[in-house]
Chain A
Amino acid sequence: MYEISKVNEIKSSKSYKLLWLILSALVVAVFLLSLTVGKYQVGTFEVCQILFQKIVPFERTWSPLAENMILQVRLPRILAAMVVGAALAVSGAVFQGIFRNPLASPYTLGVSNGAGFGAALAILMFNSSYAIQSFAMLFSLVAVGLTFLLSYKAKNSTITLVLGGIIVGSLFSALISLIKFVADPFEKLPAIVFWLMGSLASLNVDLFKTSLLFFIFFIGIIWLYRWRLNVLSLGDEEAKSFGVDVRRDRIIIIICCSFLTAAAVSISGIIGWVGLVIPHIGRMLVGPDFRKLLPVCILLGSAYLLLIDDLCRTLMTVEIPLGVITAIVGTPLFAYFMLSEKVNW
Chain B
Amino acid sequence: MMKKNKRAIAILFLCTFLLMILMSGCGKENGSADKESVKTDKQTYTIVDQLGRNVEIPNNVNKIVCLQHHTLDIILELQAQDKLVGVLSEWETLLGSYAADVFPGIRKLGYPGTISSLNVESVANLKPDVVIVSNQIPEESINQLEKLGIPVVTITLYVADKEQASTIHPDLVNPDEAYTEGLKQAVTLIGQITGKKEKAAELWNYVVTNRAIVSQHLDKIPEKDRIKVYMANEKMNTYGTGKYVGVAMAKAGARNVAETIKGYKQVTVEQVAQWNPQVIFVQSRNASVLNEIKNNKAWAEIDAVKKGKLIIAPDYTKPWGNPTPESMALGEIWLAKTLYPEAFKEVDLDKMVQYFYKNFYGIDYKE
Contacts and interface: CB of A to CB of B under 8 A. Distances in A.
Interface of A: 38-41, 54, 64-65, 67-69, 71-73, 75-76, 79, 127-129, 184-188, 190-191, 194, 201-205, 209, 212-213, 216, 219-220, 223-224, 227, 313, 317-319
A205 B26 contact: yes
Given A40-B121, A69-B148, A201-B119, A127 B167 contact: yes
A69 B147 CA distance: 9
Contact of A129 (B9, B15, B16, B139): B139
Contacts of B34: 64, 67-68
Contact of B112 (A69, A75, A317): A317
Contact of A224 (B5, B122, B140): B5
22 contacts: A39-B119, A39-B122, A68-B30, A68-B149, A69-B121, A71-B25, A71-B26, A72-B30, A72-B31, A72-B147, A73-B147, A75-B26, A76-B26, A79-B19, A127-B166, A128-B139, A190-B136, A201-B120, A204-B140, A227-B1, A317-B119, A318-B111
Contacts of B22: 75, 79
Nearest to B149: A65
Given A191-B136, A220-B12, A317-B111, A185 B19 contact: no
B340 to A, nearest CB: 31
Contact of B122 (A64, A67, A72, A318): A318
Residue of A54, A72, A128, A213 with most partner-chain B CB within 10 A: A72
B16 A216 contact: yes
B169 A188 contact: yes
Interface in B1-17: 1, 5, 8-9, 12, 15-16
B116 to A, nearest CB: 5
Residue in A54, A127, A216, A313 with the greatest tally of chain B CB atoms within 10 Å: A127
Given A39-B112, A190-B136, 16 more contacts: A39-B119, A40-B125, A65-B124, A65-B148, A65-B149, A68-B31, A69-B121, A185-B264, A187-B136, A187-B168, A204-B140, A205-B26, A219-B12, A318-B112, A318-B119, A318-B122
A75 B15 CA distance: 16
B195 interface: no
Q: How large is the interface on B (under 10, 10 to 19, 20 to 34, 35 or more residues)?
A: 35 or more
Contacts of B30: 67-68, 71-72
B173 interface: no
Nearest to A187: B168
B263 interface: yes
Interface in B225-254: 237
A202 B141 CA distance: 6
A191 B169 CA distance: 13
Contacts of B19: 79, 212, 216
B113 interface: yes
B321 A186 contact: yes
Give 3 closest A-B pairs by Cβ, nearest first: A64-B34, A39-B121, A202-B138
A188 B168 CA distance: 8
A186 B69 CA distance: 14
Contacts of B5: 224
Contact of A317 (B16, B25, B110, B139): B110
A192 to B, nearest CB: 11
B112 A129 contact: no
B125 A39 contact: yes
B12 A216 contact: yes
B38 interface: yes
B140 A73 contact: no
A72 to B, nearest CB: 5
A318 B140 contact: no
A213 B16 contact: yes
Contacts of B136: 187, 190-191
A68 B145 CA distance: 10
B116 A318 contact: no
B23 A212 contact: yes
Nearest to A181: B266
B144 interface: yes
Contacts of A313: 119, 121
A226 to B, nearest CB: 9
Contacts of B274: none
B50 interface: no
B144 A72 contact: yes
Nearest to A207: B140
A39 B111 CA distance: 12
Interface centre among B8, B20, B122, B264 (most CB of A within 10 A): B122
Contacts of A73: 120-121, 144, 147-148
A202 B23 contact: no
Contacts of A223: 8, 12
Contacts of A128: 139
Interface in B136-157: 136, 138-141, 144, 147-149
Contacts of A65: 38, 124, 148-149
A251 to B, nearest CB: 21
B114 interface: yes
Contacts of A38: 121
Contacts of B139: 128-129, 202
B208 to A, nearest CB: 29
Contacts of A54: 25
B93 interface: no
B296 interface: no
A216 B264 contact: no
B94 to A, nearest CB: 10
Contacts of B167: 127
A184 B266 CA distance: 11
B188 interface: no
Nearest to B140: A202
Contacts of A190: 116, 136
B284 interface: no
Nearest to B23: A209
